[in-house]
Structure formats: structure tokens, C-alpha cells
Structure 1
Amino acid sequence: MLQKHCLFTLMLVSTLYGATSAIMCYECNSQYDPRCGLNFDPFSLALVNCSLKEPPNHLRDLQPEICRKITQKIFGKYRVIRSCGYIKDEVDPEAVADTDKTDGNIRCKKRSGTFEVQSLFCSCDTDECNAAPWSIDIPTKHMILVVTILPSLLIKLIFEFSLQKSS
């Protein structure tokens, strides 16, 4: 009985670990959902597991690696688009212009077009990074996993030990 429980726990842990290795991003467009805008509340919208999404036709062979946040100003109105990304932006530290910014995990490029169009393209490669400046890092996720599973294993062992003792 204990062997079956250990096998089940091992399978559960491996499944959870695999789930935490996929990148989780917010996906929304403030043109259609105002909660996605500049005053974004990360608790108002659900995260998307990017690896479970169907990739665009022209990127079928790629896996999602990053989260994107695009802020556009078009004729004085702002629009924010948050999504999964498939191609990392190449950043050459020697060629970073005044309009480009690299801040730790988040890389941004500012572009201006004609007819009052400005865009800021940002990408990052950790969970929830296209929302707010904070996210749960990998060691914290592992600690949560251990704290969640360890008590159930201890309870199971104590219960089985008391059953064996009473028999």
C-alpha cells in the first residue's frame, strides 16, 4: 500500500513540476477588455498556459518562450496587448539605442511611426512578467510544492503506522 502511495506521489510531483516549467502569461487586449489597460490588476484576469495554446500558422514549429506586452498610443489613445510570444527579441548591449531598454528580465523597444502612432514592445521570459513587476520565482514554486506535499505524506505514513500497530 505504501509503495502505491509513493508511486502516486512521485507521479503527482512530476506532473506538477512539468506544469510549472511552461510559461504562464496574461492574454488580453484593452481595446476589447478595459481590465487589460494601463492600470492593469493582475488578479482581474486569468493566466494562460502558453504551451497549451495553438500557435499561429506561421509559427507552427516554435514553442512559446516569452510573454509580450505591447503598449500603443494611436492618435492620443492608449491600447495594451498582452500575449504569449514565440520569438525572443535579440538585444545587442553594444547597440542599445536611447529608445531601447533592458531592465533585468524585461526587454523593451520603443518605436514611432507616422500619423501619431507610437509603440513600446516589451518581452520577458518568466511567468506573469507581462503584468506587474513581481512574480513568483522558481525556488519559491519548489518550496510551495514541498510544503503542500510533505504534510500529506507524513499524515499517510502516520496513519499506516497506526494501522499496522493496531493489527
Structure 2
Amino acid sequence: MESKLLFSCVAVLLMFFVNQGTGLKCHQCSSKTDPDCDDPFYYEDNPGVVKTEKYLAECPADDGNEYTLCRKIFQNVRGESRVIRSCGWEKDESRDCYSTVLEEYNTYVCQCFEDGCNSASMFSLSLAGIVSTITLTYLLN
């Protein structure tokens, strides 16, 4: 009887120390409201070090979505550019980056799959994609 009680107590204590697992961590911010979110996100003299980790957070687990990727979005809305870093759940199987061009706004979106991977500069993600998005923006205006 005592061994069962001891075993139960040890099992309960172990539950407090066992890592329950953590979800994906992505930078989550928008340069529209947080200027530090904009590029360059790294120090110019030390490109391997992000300027801030304050936006790096675990993706939400309680909103019904199963987050499997980080996203970085370059968006141009009526001539105003911004960077949006977020968690995502809809994976594009055919490509890591894509662009959309509409009348009111243009976006260039890249997805990645490791913790904090959406800190990369858009230029390191794809210079051609950014240049084409900006060019189309000016052509449509």
C-alpha cells in the first residue's frame, strides 16, 4: 500500500518537471505599429544578431488553428510599405515565397518552419521577389 502511495506521489511530482513540449515560436509584429519590426531586423555591423527578441513568442494554441510555420510579409498599401511577421497554418506546398498584386495593395509572403526564422531580411529571402513586387506597385500606380 505504501509503495503505491509513494509511486503516485513521485508520478505527480514528475509531471511538474517534465517538459510538456513547446509550440513553434515566431516573431509576431507589424512595422505599422512597431517600428522595430521593420527591416533591417538585424544590426548592420552584425547581421547574425537580431535587434530585438521582444517579438519572438510561441504561436497561440487556443484559437483553433494548428500553427506549423512562421511568415514574413512585405506589404505595400497605397504606397506605404510595412513588414508583418506572424505565425501561419496554411502551408504553400509548391513554393516558400509568393507575391500577390491587387489594386489597393501588393504583398510578398515567405514561409519558414523553424523557431524565429521569420527574422530574416526580405532581401535574403528573395531579392527577385521584392524587386518584382515593388516594380509592379509602381507600374500599377
Where on the TM-score scale, by shorter chain, does this alignment land: which range? 0.5 to 0.7
Task: Report what 1:131 is aligned to.
Answer: 119
TM-score (norm 1): 0.52
Matched residues, number: 105
Higher strand share: 2
What's 2:76 paired with? 73
Q: Measure how far apart 1:120 and its partner are.
A: 0.3
Q: Does the 8 Å CA contact 1:70/1:122 hold for their aligned counterparts?
A: yes
Bigger helix share: 1
* 5+ long unaligned stretches in structure 2: 1-12, 43-49, 122-141
C-alpha contact (below 8 Å) 1:23/1:51 kept by paired residues: no
For residues 40 and 14 of structure 2, the distance between their equivalents in structure 1, rounded to whole angstroms, comes to 41
RMSD: 2.8
Alignment of 1:1-150 (within 5 A): 12=17, 14-15=18-19, 18-19=21-22, 22-41=23-42, 42-44=50-52, 45-52=54-61, 54-55=62-63, 60=64, 62-91=65-94, 102=95, 107-115=96-104, 117-132=105-120
Q: Which runs of 4+ in 1 moved over 3 A?
A: 8-12
Q: Percent identity?
A: 33
Q: Is there any run of 5+ residues in structure 1 with no aligned partner, and where?
A: 1-7, 92-101, 134-167
Whichever of the two has the greater Rg, that structure is 1
Looking at structure 2, the residues matched to 51 and 73 of structure 1 have their Cα atoms a distance apart, in angstroms, of 27
> Scaled by the length of structure 2, what TM-score is found?
0.61
